[in-house]
């Protein structure tokens, strides 16, 4: 589902710093891959490159059948709204929308009928255990609940690729486990290829494969993690 070949990213500056080069990765539908590494190693940047939010300095990225390198900004936006789902460390749930509306946001971008969008958003909230609170405002929720809303929003439009950047970084260990289980379960159920960036060994262990990011690319550490 995701195929990255010989990716290269150099950060500008004097002198320029090579974040990674010759990086390759393949993730199949329904598979979850975790990427670990030290702070500043470029994990989030890799995720942003895959999402087409940051330019790359070489290599190719294909999502499903679409090549996202060398595509203009508007086409990338179109691609993201169809193929991608995101979960962030800081939740990023819009404060002025209800939970239902937050989850329906990707469907609105895909021009779904408002009623259908609402129904699908409610069904998704039901699956993450927040069905009863669809009409509530975000400020009434705890951190774990907010991340569940974010997961529902990431998957409501059945994306091909789910990108999660430290999804449990702001949660206590108990909640983190529950949220992670939900994320992986829902991702697999939706048949999405998932890429999870994390510091947490516990989180990484739940992935199908685990990589460590270094300047020379990704090293498979599945056995050691």
| In the complex, minimum distance from the CB of residue 33 to other proteins, in angstroms, rounded to a whole number | 20
Asked if 139 and 96 count as a contact pair (C-beta separation under 8 A), the reply is no
The separation between the first and the last C-alpha atoms of the chain, rounded to the nearest angstrom, is 24
Binding piece for other proteins, criterion CB under 8 A, among 14-22, 24-32, 60-68, 101-109: 101-109
Q: Which residue among 96, 132, 223, 224 contacts other proteins (CB under 8 A)?
A: 96
Using CB under 8 A as the binding rule, whether residue 60 contacts other proteins is answered as: no
In the numeric block, the tokens 């995720």 are attached to 47
Please state the separation of Cα 63 from the chain's center in Å: 13
* Contacting residue, 18, 41, 48, 177, with other proteins by CB under 8 A: 48
Residue 106 is a binding residue for other proteins (CB under 8 A): yes
Interface stretch with other proteins, choices 10-18, 19-27, 79-87, 216-224 (CB under 8 A)? 79-87
In the list 32, 42, 46, 84, the residue contacting other proteins (rule: CB under 8 A) is: 84
Structural Rg of the chain based on CA atoms: 17
- Residue 163's beta-bridge partner residues? 86, 195
CA dist 39 and 115 (Å) reads: 43
Query: Using CB under 8 A, which of the segments 21-29, 34-42, 90-98, 185-193 binds other proteins?
Result: 90-98
Residue 104 binds other proteins, judged by CB under 8 A? yes
How many angstroms separate the CA atoms of 17 and 196, rounded?
24
DSSP secondary structure string, 33-57?
EEEE--TTSSHHHHHHHHTTSS--S
8-state DSSP, 140: G
Task: Find the shortest distance in angstroms from Cβ 174 to other proteins.
Answer: 18
Q: Which chain residues interact with other proteins by CB under 8 A?
A: 44-45, 48, 51, 53-54, 73-74, 77-82, 84, 86, 88-97, 101, 104-106, 108-109, 111-112, 114, 117, 169-170
């Amino acid at each position: 589902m995701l195929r990255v070949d010989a990716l290269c990213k150099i950060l500008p500056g004097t002198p320029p710093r090579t974040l990674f080069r010759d990086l390759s990765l393949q993730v199949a539908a329904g598979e979850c891959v975790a990427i670990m590494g030290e702070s500043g190693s470029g994990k989030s940047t890799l995720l942003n490159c895959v999402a087409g939010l940051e330019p790359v300095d070489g290599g190719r990225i294909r999502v499903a059948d679409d090549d996202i390198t060398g595509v203009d900004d508007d086409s990338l936006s179109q691609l993201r709204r169809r193929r991608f789902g995101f979960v962030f460390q800081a939740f990023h749930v819009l404060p002025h929308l209800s939970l239902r509306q937050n989850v329906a946001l990707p469907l609105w971008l895909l021009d779904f009928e408002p009623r259908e969008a609402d129904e699908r958003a409610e069904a998704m909230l039901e699956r993450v255990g927040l069905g009863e609170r669809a009409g509530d405002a975000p400020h009434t929720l705890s951190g774990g609940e907010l991340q569940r809303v974010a997961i529902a929003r990431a998957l409501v439009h059945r994306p091909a690729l789910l990108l999660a950047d430290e999804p449990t970084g702001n949660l206590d260990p108990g909640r983190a486990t529950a949220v992670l289980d939900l994320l992986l379960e829902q991702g697999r159920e939706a048949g999405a290829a998932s890429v999870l960036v994390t510091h947490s060994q516990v989180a990484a262990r739940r992935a199908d494969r685990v990589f460590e990011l270094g300047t020379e690319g990704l090293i498979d550490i599945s056995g050691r993690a």
